[in-house]
Amino acid sequence: MKKKSLKEEIVSYLLVALGSMLFAVGDVMFVNPYNLAPGGVYGLANVFHALWGWKISVAGICMDIPLLIIGTLVLGPRFGIKTIVSVILIPIFTYFVEITWGYAPLIHDGLYDSSEGLVSYLSYTVGHGDAAIDKFFVPDFFLNTVVAGLIYGVAIGVIFRAGATSGGSDIISMIIHKYTKISLGVLVLIVDSCISLTTLIIGDIRLPIYSMILIFIESKLIDIIVEGVTTYKTVFIITDKIDEVKGFILNDLERGGTCFPGLGLYQGQERKMIYVTLDRTDLVKLKANLRHLDPNAFVNVIESAEIMGLGFKALPEE
């Protein structure tokens, strides 16, 4: 068990490193060249870079570390070692990409000289000091936003899967949540949206819109990585043909369930209710056969966010 636990810990730290590296690549190669700010500390760092030329890695860690300290003082020691490792690794990888790759976009519709006089273009700088040269490119906002959202989603999803967080603006949301009791999910959305709106300072109305599209793509991919692609439905069935329906679930679907006695409100008649959780395929089979099993059955299907236990995802370890 000790060897297994050690192996799992090593894998989780490797996942944190992988997620941090992907985050750096996504931010420097895709998000920054287009002046996007998809929330978070590094969203603000991208805005600072666009306005004043600050290095993303330096601006990011200068905001992350104070937030981590303030969060620990206000919220208590809830930030684990993996989160601290993530907060340190992300700026390290970001700095490495900055000094090796620069801020050149990976996706664009072509490079041009400034003499072309283009109406719609973005620029990035190659070199430093007197040797710095501005290069201009025609952006492909939509494709770049989709790719950036996918990379961000995989990066943060892998970090979450390893049991860490990327710190940053989430700490601000947690602190506000402690004193206002507003939903944490709502606060994260508000904070990230406000950060995305700071791109308006740069002077392009498209930037906050594409930043929010990126956030949407990223969040969906995080859900898939953390929770998996399989979706489950919780089904409540009220039926007079309890044996027939129960037999179909047990024998044909090979699923278990729970049977409850119930009392109808209108006629006061005693009825039986089956509670069962199914994946999408089994639900289709059940619905296709219920009409033959009991045409008068009453069925309520509920979306299940997460199912744990025997036959499904294992319960989390301590």
List the chain pLDDT tens, one digit each, 318 residues.
Answer: 444 578 888 999 999 999 999 999 999 999 999 999 999 999 999 999 999 999 999 999 999 999 999 988 888 877 788 889 999 999 999 999 999 999 999 999 888 765 555 556 888 888 777 777 888 898 999 999 999 999 999 999 899 888 888 777 878 888 888 888 787 667 877 888 899 999 999 988 999 999 999 999 998 898 888 777 667 889 999 988 899 999 999 998 888 898 988 888 777 788 888 999 988 888 888 988 888 899 888 899 998 877 777 666 666 665
For 89, the domain range is 2-227
126 and 7: one domain?
yes
Q: What pLDDT is recorded for position 65? A: 92
11 and 149: one domain?
yes
110 class by beta-carbon count within 10 Å (0-12 exposed, 13-18 middle, 19+ buried) = exposed
Q: Of 173, 205, 227, at which residue does a domain stop? A: 227
103 and 249: one domain?
no
Q: Of 227, 259, 287, at which residue does a domain stop? A: 227
CATH label of the domain that carries residue 281: 3.30.70.120
Residue 310 in domain: no
Residue 171 in domain: yes
Report CA 70 to chain centroid distance, whole Å. Answer: 24
Q: What pLDDT is recorded for position 230? A: 67
Residue 281 in domain: yes
The DSSP line for 8-31 is HHHHHHHHHHHHHHHHHHHIIIII
